[in-house]
Amino acid sequence: MKLSRKILAAVTVAAMAVFGFTGCAEEEDENGMLEVSGSNCSINYTNDTTGFSRGFKSLKTKRYDAVCKISNETTALKANGDGVMGYIFALSQNSDKTYNFGLAGVRNDNGTVTGYISYYTGVSGKYLSSGTDFADANGKVAGETGSTCTCVDYTSPTFSTIKTSAGKSFDVWINVVANDGTSEGRDGDAGSYTVSFYTADPLRTTSAVGSNTTYGEGGAAAVLTKTIPASATGLSEMTQLDLGFYANVYSTSTLKGTWSLSDIEGDGEPVEYAE
């Protein structure tokens, strides 16, 4: 039954794209960087400008969580790499039309894979893809004096080492777990999120919608794990919210790679965001 549910959910997401159910598409991926197909995404984008080129795209479908495999095909080894590939989770819209979400990202920093985990609140839809960083309605980025947009980094420093000697290409698995406080593998405080990075497949499976989550024999061990507490998310229970994909391509760089979601948990309820 679980397999059938997930196949049906993937078809539903694809059908929404075909029939034009786009929600806040005009606020997302303004640069046309991301190609989403069902639960997969790809990028092959060259930024010829002197600044950042950013893309943000959600599935418009409420879910609890999923594992995201990111495959990065770096075109040049250099300090800070060509840009960031990120996995968006716990995405929701506030009554003032701003957004809250978690973001786990990776990049190839001259052969070393580095990653970060952040949680944002009060991000204006206008700045999901534009500007130098996520910002409030007045264009003030998180942390700037007077900004109503906030960001908490859960990795210190902002980028932490995930894998060394990666060469030009690498694969990373990011496992996001929405905790309910009681289920196996989800026993963190209800409303919190546990985020882990792996350099190989953790072989995660979940027995039913939002319940016991286990890891198969031979699955990889996490190299970095952080928890976003319920006090930050403002949630008091495990909640279905949106998932998505993010990219930030650095100046005069080309970023190429793919995202693939697996063990997607939740009923797949469609969501449309107010403009």
pLDDT for residue 3 is more than 90: no
DSSP string, 93-161: E-TTS-EEEEEEEEEEETTEEEEEEEEEEEE-GGGSSSSSS-B-TTSPBTTSTT-S-EEEE-SSSSSEE
pLDDT computed for residue 25 by the predictor: 40
Determine the pLDDT at residue 6.
Answer: 35
The answer to whether position 217 is within a domain reads: yes
Answer yes or no: is 228 within a domain.
yes
Question: Is 205 inside a domain boundary?
Answer: yes
pLDDT attached to residue 2? 35
8 Å CB contact between 101 and 27: no
Q: Is position 60 within any domain?
A: yes
- Distance CA(162)–CA(197), nearest Å, equals 7
Q: Kindly state the helix (H) or strand (E) to which residue 63 belongs, with its residue range.
A: strand 53-63
- Give yes or no for residue 77 having a pLDDT over 80: yes
pTM value is 0.90
Q: What is the DSSP letter of 222?
A: P
Residues 6 or more apart whose CB falls under 8 angstroms from that of 238 comprise 64, 178, 179, 180, 181, 186, 190, 191, 210
Q: Is residue 272 part of a domain?
A: no
Residue 18 clears pLDDT 60, i.e. is over it: no
- Structural domain harbouring 180: 2-267
20 belongs to a structural domain = yes
| The pLDDT of residue 15 | 38
The answer as to whether 273 is a domain residue is: no
Structural domains of the chain, count: 1
DSSP 162-188: EESS-TTEEEEEEEEEE--SSSTT--S
Residue 256 belongs to a domain: yes
Tens of pLDDT, residue by residue over 118-150, are 999 999 999 999 999 999 999 999 999 999 999
